Amino acid sequence: MGTHRTSLPGVGVQYDYTTESGQHISVVVHHDGRRFLGFYEKDDPDSCRLSVPLTTAEATALAHLIDAAPIDAVRTEGINLVTEHIPLGSRSPYGGRLLGDTKARTRTGASIVAVLRTHSAHPSPGPDFRLAIGDTLVVVGTREGVDTLSEIIAEG
């Protein structure tokens, strides 16, 4: 299992996910909240065989079906505030490091309000909280701040 994040300038962010069985799935998150699911050929990672557009409400409904313990997104229509889940992938330089090392709020204005692990949740983690590969960060901030924080978490 691996997740890779790619910024799409002017569009949003693409998250590529490879399952343990080798299936490649992507989610493109547009700045306006739309999402597209992409399903790729197993033997050709560049060949998208199906793309499914989802509204924000449809993406939320699908997330609730997939996630056994989903967190309801904060409804923020009309204001520039978003809630996102940012995975801490194997290429992140923050695996094993303290949350304070990210300087998330100082660098982006976005806040990490919780860290999710396989069998636990850590609300309001302090700067001395030690991150681990596989964690999911629950982040609140402006679209720009959250996108920047996602890049920092992925690349340093």
Q: How far apart are CA 138 and CA 115, in angstroms?
A: 6
Tokens 């069985």 sit on residue: 21
Full residue range of the structural domain in which residue 108 is found: 81-155
pLDDT tens-digit map of 44-97: 878 889 999 988 778 777 877 777 655 555 556 667 788 888 999 888 999 999
For the whole prediction, is pTM greater than 0.75?
no
**pLDDT recorded at residue 124:** 93
Query: Strands, DSSP E only, in the chain?
Result: 2-8, 12-18, 24-30, 35-41, 44-54, 82-87, 111-117, 120-123, 136-141
Q: Which helix (H) or strand (E) holds 154?
A: helix 143-155
Structural domain total, the chain: 2
> Over the chain, what is the mean pLDDT?
85
Q: Are residues 101 and 149 in the same domain?
A: yes
Phi, psi of 144 (to 5 degrees): -65, -45
Q: Are residues 60 and 87 in the same domain?
A: no
Q: Are residues 91 and 27 in the same domain?
A: no
Tokens 């692990």 sit on residue: 117
Q: How far apart are CA 31 and CA 12, in angstroms?
A: 5
The percent of residues above 90 in pLDDT, for the chain, comes to 39
